[in-house]
């Protein structure tokens, strides 16, 4: 008869408690599905006396995560502490050194130290699993490493931070400013202790770096992601984009190009009829494109106790079944250094600007765009606001270099009332 699979859980916040609950509630089901009983040998958290809504008195406690990771009665170290340095990294490394398998929900740890950890895990013949690190309950890691293993992946893109998607959709539905909705989201506890991890795009970029590595066989390269958050998105842009048939999303995109690997996390416009355009609230969505399968869409809750704990248990169950494989889909020592694209692929752009109430003002802007090689697809001019008039322009596909040349030249026209806003329109 198979021996139980013994877990040591470090970190008893929302997700850790969710894992405990699932193991207690579904013990018989988990055993039936894996052929092994899954048990908790010990736990670790900073405050053993904190009321977590679940009695943990039956479990041995460790005050040091490294000690938990190296216990003789732990087969799988479940790291739910968070952070890319310090105790989370030390404990994960110690677990692998001690011959333990590791399951983690820590995207920052993998985005920064994923290559070194993958090398260590594979050298030790141990599993390092991290489904819960990307898009919560959506099984996107399994989709890339298993379900789509027969595909040459060409593009991965999606909305990977529910807090940002909540802010942008709330701004549109309630007609509120970014500052107002940010304060609301913060008050509801939707944002990290450091909100820049969310609204600055850092959290989502960690996830994109992991997906990009699996999709394209490259070493995780968080520093190679062009990063822009949502703090400059205004309610005016959201309304104007809607008027032109678009929604604004914080969109992560990784794709192979003839000039290298393009990785970016930035606010983009997407058609309001597209799957991404119809994504509201805190939900995540990942689109994957492969040469054989075409495009698939994965949608679901990107955070929270149940969804993230569900992803943790998926990894635990695979380990219980004896399933192991390369951490990032191919052996870590075969992952190549990513070569960042020298330029982004051409795309249409949305431009919003206010022009001074002067004769020929719009003609000067059109001339500047034409001289930079940027052609206009659609344009709208609205009623005057005091001494200026708002103008919206959607361009045909152009390069960021050409667009920046045009924006620079606009400054010398003498007809701008304020700084123009430019947002990429993504083809989905």
Distance between CA 169 and CA 341 in Å, rounded?
Answer: 31
Q: Does 89 qualify as catalytic in the annotation?
A: no
Buried residues in 362-391 as b, exposed as e (16+ CB within 10 A): bebbbebbeebebeeeeeeeeeeeeebbbb
Distance between CA 354 and CA 415 in Å, rounded?
Answer: 9
Residues 6+ apart with CB under 8 A from 258: none
Buried residues in 252-281 as b, exposed as e (16+ CB within 10 A): bbbbbeeeebbbbbbbbbbbeebbbbebee
* List 89, 207, 247, 249, catalytic entry: 207
Q: Which two tokens stand for residue 7?
A: 């877990």
Please state the separation of Cα 390 from the chain's center in Å.
34
Q: List, in sequence order, every beta strand (DSSP E) within 170-244.
A: 226-227
SS3 417: coil
Residue 247 pairs in a beta bridge with: 270
Distance between CA 277 and CA 398 in Å, rounded?
Answer: 22
> Catalytic amino acids?
207
């Amino acid at each position: 008869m198979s021996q139980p699979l013994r877990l040591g859980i470090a970190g008893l916040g929302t997700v850790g408690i969710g894992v405990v609950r699932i193991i207690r509630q579904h013990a018989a089901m988990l055993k039936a599905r894996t052929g092994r009983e899954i048990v908790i040998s010990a736990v670790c958290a900073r405050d053993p006396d904190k009321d977590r809504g679940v009695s943990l008195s039956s479990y041995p406690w460790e005050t040091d995560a490294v000690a938990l990771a190296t216990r003789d009665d732990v087969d799988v170290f479940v790291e739910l502490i968070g952070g890319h340095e310090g105790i989370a990294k030390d404990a994960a490394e110690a677990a692998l050194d001690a011959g333990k398998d590791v399951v983690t929900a820590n995207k920052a740890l993998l985005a920064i130290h994923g290559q070194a950890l993958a090398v260590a895990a594979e050298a030790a013949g141990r599993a390092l699993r991290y489904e819960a690190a990307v898009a919560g309950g959506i099984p996107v890691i399994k989709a890339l490493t298993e379900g789509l293993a027969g595909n040459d992946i060409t593009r991965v893109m999606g909305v990977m931070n529910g807090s940002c998607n909540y802010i942008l959709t709330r701004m549109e539905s309630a007609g509120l400013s970014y500052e107002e909705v940010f304060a609301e989201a913060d008050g509801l506890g939707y944002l990290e202790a450091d909100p820049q991890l969310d609204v600055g795009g850092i959290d989502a970029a960690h996830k994109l770096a992991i997906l990009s590595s699996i999709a394209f066989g490259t070493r995780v390269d968080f520093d190679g992601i062009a990063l822009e958050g949502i703090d400059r998105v205004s309610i005016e842009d959201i309304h104007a984009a809607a008027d032109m048939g678009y929604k604004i999303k914080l969109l992560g995109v990784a794709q192979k190009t003839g000039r290298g690997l393009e990785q970016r996390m930035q606010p983009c416009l997407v058609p309001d009829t597209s799957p991404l355009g119809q994504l509201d609230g805190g939900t995540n969505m990942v689109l994957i494109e492969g040469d054989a399968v075409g495009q698939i869409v994965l949608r679901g809750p990107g955070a929270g106790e149940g969804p993230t704990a569900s992803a943790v248990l998926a990894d635990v169950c695979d380990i219980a079944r004896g399933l192991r494989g390369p951490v990032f889909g191919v052996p870590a020592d075969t992952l190549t250094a990513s070569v960042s694209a020298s330029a982004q692929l051409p795309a249409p752009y949305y431009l919003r600007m206010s022009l001074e109430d002067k004769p020929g003002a719009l003609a000067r802007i059109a001339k500047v765009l034409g001289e930079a090689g940027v052609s206009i697809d659609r344009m709208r001019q609205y009623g005057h606001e005091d001494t200026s008039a708002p103008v919206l322009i959607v361009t045909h596909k152009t390069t960021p270099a050409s667009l920046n040349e045009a924006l620079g030249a606009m400054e010398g026209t003498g007809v701008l009332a304020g700084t123009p806003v430019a947002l990429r329109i993504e083809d989905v």
